[in-house]
Amino acid sequence: MTDDDRVFKALADPTRRFLLDLLFARDGRTLTELESEVEMTRFGVAKHLKLLEEAGLVVVRRSGREKLHFLNPVPIRLIHDRWIDKYTERHVEALVDLKKALEDEA
């Protein structure tokens, strides 16, 4: 499985996207903090976090007895640059050309 495949698989689940949103809002949360935000068992949340970690979307750091989870937005940005940016560039360029043409007419 490629890195892109892991990221897409991780982002395919709404619970995992919600966990990423929680980490975006406030980074460095414990499993207990994240678990309190979803209606799911601790084991279920841990399983989702493990998949996010394997995809590189979550980075874990230990602080004493706590295991803190941090969002890593780099894989999402790489997906954006590869799959989204190249498709929107053409449209943005066309809008810029249209704007210039309309300004030249005026």
pLDDT in tens, 70-82: 999 999 999 888 8
- Asked whether the beta carbons of 55 and 6 are under 8 A apart, the reply is yes
pTM of the prediction? Answer: 0.80
User: pLDDT for 2-53, tens place per residue?
Assistant: 888 999 999 999 999 999 999 999 999 999 999 999 999 999 999 999 999 9
DSSP string, the chain: --HHHHHHHHHTSHHHHHHHHHHHHS-SB-HHHHHTTSSS-HHHHHHHHHHHHHTTSEEEEEETTEEEEEE--HHHHHHIIIIIHHHHHHHHHHHHHHHHHHHHH-
How remote is the C-alpha of 2 from its chain's centroid?
17
- Tell me what pLDDT residue 94 has: 81
In 3D space, the residue among 74, 86, 81, 84 whose CA is nearest the CA of residue 7 turns out to be: 74
